[in-house]
Structure 1
Amino acid sequence: MTRGLRTWGEAGAPEVLLLHCTLAHGGAWKGVARRLADRFHLVAPDMVGHGEGPSGDPARDYHDQATEHALGFLPEEGAHLVGHSFAATVALRLAIEAPGRVRSLVLIEPVLFAAAPDGPAKSANAEKLGRMGMKVAAGDTRGAARIFLSVWGAGEDFDELPEAQAARMASQMWIIGAQRAALHDDAARLLPRLGQVACPVLLMEGSTSPPVIGQILDMLEAGLPQAERAVIDGAGHMAPVTHPDAVAGALADFLARA
């Protein structure tokens, strides 16, 4: 593994760039990537503020930094692009702003909350985000991480995590606040530009995920010219980690047609 970068498969095969979710690292893709390595060359970098990726500049917009960093891994000749959670919004931005370098786009549970209609599902998420923000402001980053994992984790109990992992997640809670403008206010102006996405798009969700995810995907599907949906049965938000077989199968099917 190159520092901050994981690869699977043989160079020269069709390339797939995998962008991981918040509080993870490129290794989160290993279950999916190993199932596709006989057909593709898969590349998974650590994102800004994660793993061995860049630490990030607090004076700059976080979404801008994440997008610039990810763009550096997209070859000029193009690649298939897969993003999960926050990174799915980065992937969507790349498909809009660098269309010649994105052959197809897979968005797994993009948390672009600005796309969801006002209502109970959106309010429930906003309430939890507010509670996390208050915990961080009070210096209780562990409490904030505990709330985050209860909604967006893979079912793990924060208090039962190895100490090193718990400490790392707590130290990264600043990222949640740094993402707010892009996710809740659409500061990157993704929604008005959905019609500019020129490639085929797969929108993927877990069947047990928070209802706001389905509402977000409804809006994206309506605005994207070439979008289709896939549901991973029994999975929640962390489907690439918890259900790698099903996610890899859906990806393989889509990429074979894209």
Structure 2
Amino acid sequence: MAKSTTLRTPLGRSVKIIEQGTGTPVVFLHSGVGSAGEWKQVFSLWPDGDRLIAIDAYRDGTGPGTAGRRDLDDYTDQVYAVADQVAGPVHLIGFSWGGATALRAAAVTPGLIASLTLVEPEAYALLRTENPGAYSQVRGLRDRCRAHIRAGRWHEAYAEFVDFYNGPGSFASWPSARREAFVQEQQSRADLWDVLFDDLLTAESLADVTAPVHLIEGSHTSAVDHAICAVLRRHLPDAEHTVIEGAGHMMPLTHPEPLTRALSHRISR
């Protein structure tokens, strides 16, 4: 059964984790608009023999550090807290926004990472020089969302955001109560975009990633996510690459069975 624990980080902050099982430590990082709960289905399907640890990066919604001035290292600090807790290297799995954090951790502290799995990491900064067209597309999305937020149009901002990753009309198809709860939660995460465009992640920094890498993408994901995965495959030529057929970006929720098979098979090896 999964249990919740709060750890102290090296920077003197706290981070909530959800864990289950015993054995090899496998650490999971969620998306920017989600929580550790994104991994619930994957945890339920995972074979015995591993200690699964999901970091809940935003805890009570506040996030680490100072709002408006956070960077990726505020979140890698949470990964280091887990590595301290298990007293050894971890297999690190990062999805979406968590994938950008995982990349930063693997580049800065390679000795802590036994293996690195990236599930469509939103490392937008890599596109600035590697694919300016895709970079312009996602920057345009960011700027439109920011304009909506500045004008108090939170629903319009997140309708465009959700539809970008899940297809036109996705946000409108949610029940009203779900839309309201989602928008309410996201209002404390308005600095998310700044973290993902952070210059701490560059194509040159990928040379510092020495752990074995497994890159996973969905066959039906966005053009921007395909572009980021293409950049990573160019700069991490030895990375294993898996495509989850029929999956879009939110595959931990929509395609947990094939995703779990891909993740657990790699860790078991």
Above 0.5 in TM-score?
yes
TM-score by length of structure 2 reads: 0.84
Q: Tell whether 2:76 aligns with 1:41.
A: no
Distance 2:158 2:97 in 1: 16
Which of 107, 110, 125 does residue 121 from structure 2 map onto? 110
Counterpart in 1 of 2:75? Answer: 66
Query: Are the aligned partners of 1:199 and 1:226 in contact in 2 as well (CA < 8 Å)?
Result: no
Residues 230 and 243 of structure 1, relative CA distance in 2, 3 Å threshold = same
Q: Cα deviation per residue 1:9-46 (whole Å; 9 max; x = unaligned)? A: 2x2x1110000001111011011122114131111121
Q: Tell whether 2:154 aligns with 1:141.
A: yes
Distance 2:60 2:248 in 1: 23
Which of 180, 203, 207 does residue 166 from structure 1 map onto? 180
Residues 104 and 205 of structure 1, relative CA distance in 2, 3 Å threshold = same
Residue 111 of structure 1 aligns to a residue in which SS? coil
Q: How many residues align?
A: 251
Query: Are the aligned partners of 2:99 and 2:120 in contact in 1 as well (CA < 8 Å)?
Result: yes
- Taking the TM superposition and a 5 Å limit, the aligned residue runs for 1:86-235 are 86-116=97-127, 117-119=131-133, 121-153=134-166, 156-158=170-172, 160-161=174-175, 163=177, 166-173=180-187, 175-176=189-190, 178-184=191-197, 186-224=198-236, 226-235=238-247
Q: Tell whether 2:253 aligns with 1:253.
A: no
Distance 2:76 2:205 in 1: 16
Taking every aligned residue pair, what percent have the same amino acid on both sides?
A: 29
| Superposed displacement of residue 250, structure 1 | 0.7
Structure 2 gaps, min length 5 = 6-15
Structure 1 gaps, min length 5 = none
Counterpart in 2 of 1:16? Answer: 26
Query: Are the aligned partners of 2:107 and 2:209 in contact in 1 as well (CA < 8 Å)?
Result: yes
Distance 1:158 1:72 in 2: 39
| Superposed displacement of residue 162, structure 1 | 5.1
TM-score by length of structure 1 reads: 0.87
Residues 246 and 112 of structure 1, relative CA distance in 2, 3 Å threshold = same
**Amino acid across the alignment from 1:61:** R
Distance 1:255 1:139 in 2: 44
Distance 1:53 1:43 in 2: 21
Distance 1:241 1:115 in 2: 26
Residues 224 and 208 of structure 1, relative CA distance in 2, 3 Å threshold = same
Distance 2:187 2:71 in 1: 13
**Amino acid across the alignment from 1:163:** A
| Superposed displacement of residue 225, structure 1 | 5.7
Query: Are the aligned partners of 1:136 and 1:174 in contact in 2 as well (CA < 8 Å)?
Result: no
Distance 1:82 1:225 in 2: 19
Query: Are the aligned partners of 1:182 and 1:188 in contact in 2 as well (CA < 8 Å)?
Result: no
